Amino acid sequence: MIYTARCFSCISQLYEAVWPALSSIYKKPKNFTDLCNGNNLDPQVVPSTFCPTICIRMWEELAIAGVRIRGHIRGCLNELLHNGFNQTIVTWYRWMHRDSCRQYRKRELFKLPTELSDHSYITVCTCYADYCNGRSSAATTEQGTFQCPLFLVLYFFIILFSIQRILLINFSLP
């Protein structure tokens, strides 16, 4: 088997308390740790696994006693779920073949029966480099934020240049 990347394999500590209910959906990660909640995981501290597909980082907002708690799940695509992910979603990610994040309804993503699930969402990020699922998506967001103003500046200069040419043509005619 060819391995493309090393992916962190962990799940937030809060899932351990309800693991008997979740173990039919998720495969057991290398460990349960709140270090999994961090934005820059350390390969010396958080365990990893060799991955032949893509690295995954998922998080969801849980409400417990009215308090929002974010739970994180990280691992290799083919080592996270017993029944695998929805193949349409898997195909989408392989087709994109670039780091990306997207929110999905858990029922659809995990192929859960209607009677065992609700309409809640989970965010899934995919990536292809060693330990890439240990970083937050903030880097992607910051890059997108940086590119947007750059695009607007370029657009502004193109408009300005066009106006200048029109003015020069109009004023240079007799």
Rounded to an integer, what is the distance from CA 66 to the centroid of its chain? Answer: 26
Q: Within 10 Å of residue 87's Cβ, how many Cβ atoms?
A: 9
The arithmetic mean of pLDDT across residues 46-67, rounded, is 92
pLDDT of 145 reads: 37
The arithmetic mean of pLDDT across residues 12-40, rounded, is 93
**Worst-scoring range by mean pLDDT, 40-44, 63-67, 90-94, 100-104?**
90-94
Nearest to 23 by CA among 31, 13, 15: 15
Long-range interactions of 18-21: CB distance < 8 A, separation 24+: none
| Sign of the alpha-carbon dihedral angle for 104, 108, 110, 115 | positive
Q: Tell me: pLDDT of 66 over 60.
A: yes
pLDDT of 158 reads: 56
For 96-118, how does the pLDDT look when each residue is reduced to its tens digit (9 = 90+)? 577 889 899 988 888 888 887 78
**Worst-scoring range by mean pLDDT, 6-10, 26-30, 88-92, 140-144?**
140-144
Q: Do 108 and 38 touch, CB atoms closer than 8 A?
A: no
Q: Tell me: pLDDT of 144 over 60.
A: no
Q: Tell me: pLDDT of 123 over 60.
A: yes
